[in-house]
Amino acid sequence: MIETENLSKRYPGGHQALKDVSISIQEGEMVFLTGHSGAGKSTLMKLIGGIEKATNGSVTINGTKLSSLNRSALPYLRRNFGFVFQDHKLLIDRSVFHNVALPLLISGFSKSEIMTRVRAALDKVGLLEKESFNPLTLSGGEQQRLCIARAVVNKPAILLADEPTGNLDPGYAADIVAMFRAFNRVGVTVVIATHDPAMIQGLGARIIELKQGELQA
Amino acid sequence: MNWFYLRFSAFSDSVFRLLKQPITSILHILGMGIALSIPMGCYMLLDGADQFSRKLNNTSQLNVFITADSSDETIKIAEKQLTELFEGEINFIDQDEGLKELSKNSEFSDLIKNLDTNPIPHLFVLTPQDNSAEKLTDIARTIESWSFVEEVSFDAQWAVKLESFINLSKILVMLVVLLIGLGFVATIFTTIQLQITIRKDEIEVARLVGATGRFIRRPFLYYGFIQGLLGGLCAVLIIFLGLKFGLTAMQPMLEPLGFVILAPNLITLSSPLVLSIGLSLLGAWLSSNNHLKKIDC
């Protein structure tokens, strides 16, 4: 489902963030990308999601090479992904409901479908009662759950989460991990970048370790 | 239905953003309306003045004075040449008739009676059928070159000058419209740039969840369209009120001169609206194209 081949990324200024990374993630798999800060986890996530372009090598999603896609096709590819960010990237000028509704509006769903799906996603993450709240009034854990609801509302095939428990206390972090596990059980491919060993323990998921931009054996 | 809902959402979002800053929006729209109404209103007034000068030209006459000592033969030749050259009514007033007219209407009638010889030249009065001011000027020049012609007076020469002045003013007003148009585009360009800067986070998130370029650009184009529409309507209202009340007050002064401003028709009134919407959309399109490229994710 997700394949990278000799993937490298060098940023302007010469910093080599990734070097010859080749990985393969199967459909329905749950994978952790681990490594210290600066190991290249976030860069690899961005390259997989088509947020940044690789300097060398290739990323293939469901048989489609990202480098072969033109700019106008990229938005349609991104609709297969659900993104969860450490900093949530929530829109503070609209309600919880409207934050979650955004991907559906973009994909052209009808108003009634949007209502149904948003409420179902908010129910899954336990925020249904707070649908009219402003995201700023939510706690850190609730904001992360809101971010997850937005990521899954479109029923994506792949969920990419970059340090999803980075700023959360252990109780909230365990809730978030459990949610990812539940999505994986229903067939969603889940890729989580984390430097938190506690998050990985006991889940039995595959671990891909990066060190200074290179894949560790 | 989804197509409509998508566009309705973007449109209502743009309206909401305008309403979010009511004072700024009202002042902006008012500024646009005033800026557009001044040259457009001037253009309409010049149009009225243009019709006035044309009217003057149409009622103008050429007076051809033949030297006083001309023989009957010369007068016959003059009449023949004038008939060949000129399309319209030709009236001849000989010098005796002219002197009689002068003594009737002049306070110097006693003085005229005591004259030994008649100093009044023979006169041909030419009334054109449908000649333009330019054509009449050319005819007057040709007649002037004839040896037996003492003088040609063209009583609408000042109207020709007025027409030239009006034409020049129209060009100047068009230049002002062009400059204001450029100002319009520049203003909307910066307004949209500001909106894009304010909504940078939203644009980034929308791109990450699969928004196309068109989806992201749409609310900014609607924002420009709404501003153009309201600015144009404001200009139409100012012009309409200006013509209605301003001219009602001026009409008694203008009427004796034959200067009539026609009530603006639908095409005249809709031109500032169309211009305003078109220029605003152009500014919004240029700005969104230019600035959205810079938010790349």
CA of B4 vs chain A CAs: smallest distance (Å): 10
Q: Give the mean model confidence (pLDDT) for residues A186-205.
A: 84
- Chain-chain contact of B208 with A83 (C-beta, under 8 angstroms): yes
* Whether the complex's predicted ipTM surpasses the cut of 0.90: no
Q: How many CB pairs below 8 Å do chains A and B form together? A: 56
The mean of the pLDDT values for chain B is 82
Contacts of B206 in chain A (CB under 8 A): 102, 106
pLDDT by residue (tens digit) across B173-216?
Answer: 889 889 988 988 999 999 999 989 988 888 999 999 999 989 99
Q: Give the mean model confidence (pLDDT) for residues B111-134.
A: 77
Q: Kindly tell me if the per-residue pLDDT of B150 is higher than 90.
A: no
Best of A43, A85, A102 to disrupt the B interface by mutation (most B CBs within 10 Å)?
A102
Contacts of B3 in chain A (CB under 8 A): 108
Q: Does A156 touch chain B (CB under 8 A)?
A: no
Q: Kindly tell me if the per-residue pLDDT of B263 is higher than 70.
A: no
Q: Kindly tell me if the per-residue pLDDT of B8 is higher than 90.
A: no
Of A93, A106, A109, the CB nearest to B209: A106
pLDDT at position A153 is 94
CA atoms within 13 A on the CB side of B292: 22
pLDDT by residue (tens digit) across B154-179?
Answer: 766 666 777 788 888 888 888 988 99
Q: Give the mean model confidence (pLDDT) for residues A8-30.
A: 91
Q: Which of A25-29, B14-18, B94-98 has the lowest mean pLDDT?
A: B94-98
Q: Which of A120-124, A138-142, A194-198, B141-145 has the lowest mean pLDDT?
A: A194-198
CA of A202 vs chain B CAs: smallest distance (Å): 31
The better pLDDT of the pair B109, A183 is held by A183
Provide the 10 A C-beta neighbour count for residue B89: 11
Q: Does B249 touch chain A (CB under 8 A)?
A: no
pLDDT > 90 fraction of chain B, expressed in percent and rounded: 21
For A170, phi then psi, to 5°, come to -55, -35
- Distance between CA B185 and CA B74 in Å, rounded? 67
pLDDT > 70 fraction of chain B, expressed in percent and rounded: 88
At residue A104 the predicted structure's pLDDT band, cuts being 50, 70 and 90, is very high
- Chain-chain contact of A49 with B209 (C-beta, under 8 angstroms): no
Best of A80, A89, A98, A104 to disrupt the B interface by mutation (most B CBs within 10 Å)?
A89
Contact in structure between A107 and A154 (CB atoms under 8 Å) = yes
> Of the ranges A159-168, B45-54, B134-143, which is most confident?
A159-168
At residue B59 the predicted structure's pLDDT band, cuts being 50, 70 and 90, is low
- Chain-chain contact of A83 with B209 (C-beta, under 8 angstroms): yes
Q: Does A110 touch chain B (CB under 8 A)?
A: yes
At residue A192 the predicted structure's pLDDT band, cuts being 50, 70 and 90, is very high
Contacts of B204 in chain A (CB under 8 A): 89
Q: Give the mean model confidence (pLDDT) for residues B265-276.
A: 84
The better pLDDT of the pair B11, B60 is held by B11
pLDDT at position B190 is 93
Residues 46-75 of A with CB under 8 A from B: 49, 51, 71-72, 75
Of A49, A102, A108, the CB nearest to B206: A102
Q: Kindly tell me if the per-residue pLDDT of B6 is higher than 90.
A: no
pLDDT by residue (tens digit) across A38-71?
Answer: 888 999 999 999 888 999 999 999 888 998 888 8
**Which residues does A59 contact at the CB level (< 8 Å), separation at least 6?**
A2, A3, A4, A7, A47, A48, A50, A65, A66, A67
Q: Does A178 touch chain B (CB under 8 A)?
A: no
Percent helix, strand and coil across chain A, each to the nearest 5 = 35, 25, 35
Single pTM value for the model: 0.72
Q: Does B171 touch chain A (CB under 8 A)?
A: no
Of A49, A79, A108, the CB nearest to B2: A108
Contact in structure between B85 and B152 (CB atoms under 8 Å) = no
Q: Give the mean model confidence (pLDDT) for residues A188-199.
A: 86
Contact in structure between A164 and A198 (CB atoms under 8 Å) = no
At residue B58 the predicted structure's pLDDT band, cuts being 50, 70 and 90, is low
Helix or strand holding residue B284 (H, E): helix B266-292
The mean of the pLDDT values for chain A is 90
**Which residues does A56 contact at the CB level (< 8 Å), separation at least 6?**
A6, A7, A8
- Chain-chain contact of B1 with A110 (C-beta, under 8 angstroms): yes
| Crossing angle of helices A140-152 and A96-107, rounded to 10° | 20
The better pLDDT of the pair A206, B297 is held by A206
Contact in structure between A7 and A30 (CB atoms under 8 Å) = no
